[in-house]
Amino acid sequence: MQGVADTLREFWVHRPVRPRAGRKAGGVATGIALRFQIDPVIVRIAFVALALSGGVGLPVYLAGWLLLPEEGDAVSPLESLINKGSSSMSHGQTVLLGILMFPTLAFTFGGNSGFQVFVTLAATVACIYLLQKNRGHLQPAVTLTEPAPVPPAPGAPAWDPLGAAPFAWDLPEPAPAPTPKPPMHRPRKPRIGLMTLGVATLVVAGSAIAGVWAPWFTVAHTIGLLIAVLAAGLLVGSFTGGGRGLVWLLIPLSVVGFGLTAIDFDGSPSKLSSFNETPKTVGDVRDRYATSVGSVMLDLRQLPDSGEVKTAIAVELGEVRVHVPKNADVTYRCEASSIGDLDCLGKRAEGSSVDVSGKDLGENGEGGLKIELDVQASVGEVKVLRD
């Protein structure tokens, strides 16, 4: 543990500097990449992955913005705020970034368990430790402060057009100009991109063959293997050069992979559909509306003022919108099992694994048409409106 603490302390002493050029936002990812001489795309992807992992990447990025100095500054914005030096960022901007930390931390800890956040932060610290341990000896690409110009010697003239300054009379004759060396041929970089695509092709072919005997090799698992291969190629390319084009395959595959893992598709074409119904009688209301990808628009405002209606709605990816009569007694439960936005008769919730429930008697109080709703969505928007 003492060695780990020393390595992290060394990281802080020689911490990355946020450059003024080549950055997308605060320069945190670019500064880390320049400090450890790796591809900035890899660091940006890591921050995106942390942001998707319960939003942990947002406060981590803001913390880097506050704690890492900008190129040419002596200290970080946070250190400048407590009078430890000067920074090009104003105190107002620093305070604003500090204020933004509160909603990002609330979002991170509010939508996730403390154990998940702890594991993600521990993994982040472990990555910083490994970078410093293996690449901390490399020379930083940008430094904290620019070197000050050397002042002229006392008594030396500011300009000597004829070369007649007395202090220069006894200087030796200038050496002849060096003979230019022939251009050196740089070694060819390994074609990481082509090699990675070749391995990915073998993975797809192998999964297709193995899928005949092993049911584990589903489409979702095959895409997961492809993502792992492409990520490994990008990681190797960040140290050896090349392979940046793989990111254009990795991003769409990651989106598709997220959808396949977060949503339980059954593959039935009948499930890839939408509903838009306005029943006029109680008997016209279905017991269940279900779709994998699509939307359910159900307008119950044309129903009679008496009777009982009970229905369930299940959408794995899409939108649910239910309109209920003004005077109906509605018992409801709305849930988003993966991630969603809920607005059910005035009760709102958003994020991952959220639900709201309750009973609303309408404008005239108890009595009249009774409606019982059970609405579930894996990923999407759910609204139950009375208008």
pLDDT at 146 over 70: no
Confidence (pLDDT) at 162: 46
pTM to 2 decimals?
Answer: 0.42
Question: Which amino acid appears at position 28 of this protein?
Answer: V
Confidence (pLDDT) at 268: 44
pLDDT at 237 over 60: yes
Confidence (pLDDT) at 267: 43
Is residue 334 within 8 A of residue 375, CB to CB? The reply is yes
pLDDT digits (tens, 9 = 90+) for 268-298: 444 557 889 999 999 999 999 988 777 899 9
**The tokens of 319 are what?**
């939108």
Give the DSSP H/E element, type plus range, for residue 379: strand 370-386
Euclidean distance between CA atoms 227 and 250, whole angstroms: 6
pLDDT at 147 over 50: no
Question: Exposed, middle or buried: residue 212 (CB in 10 Å: 0-12, 13-18, 19+)?
Answer: exposed
Question: Exposed, middle or buried: residue 242 (CB in 10 Å: 0-12, 13-18, 19+)?
Answer: buried
Euclidean distance between CA atoms 273 and 291, whole angstroms: 6
pLDDT digits (tens, 9 = 90+) for 158-217: 444 444 455 544 555 556 666 666 555 555 555 777 888 888 888 888 888 887 777 777
Three-class secondary structure of residue 42 per DSSP: helix
DSSP state of 152: P
Sign of CA dihedral 78, 82, 86, 92: positive
Out of 250-259, 306-315, 319-328, which region has the weakest mean confidence (pLDDT)? 250-259
Euclidean distance between CA atoms 183 and 177, whole angstroms: 17
- DSSP string for 347-364: EEEEESSEEEEEEE--TT
CB atoms within 10 A of CB 262: 15
Euclidean distance between CA atoms 136 and 9, whole angstroms: 12
Alpha carbon 28 to chain centroid, angstroms = 14
The mean pLDDT value for 146-161 works out to: 50
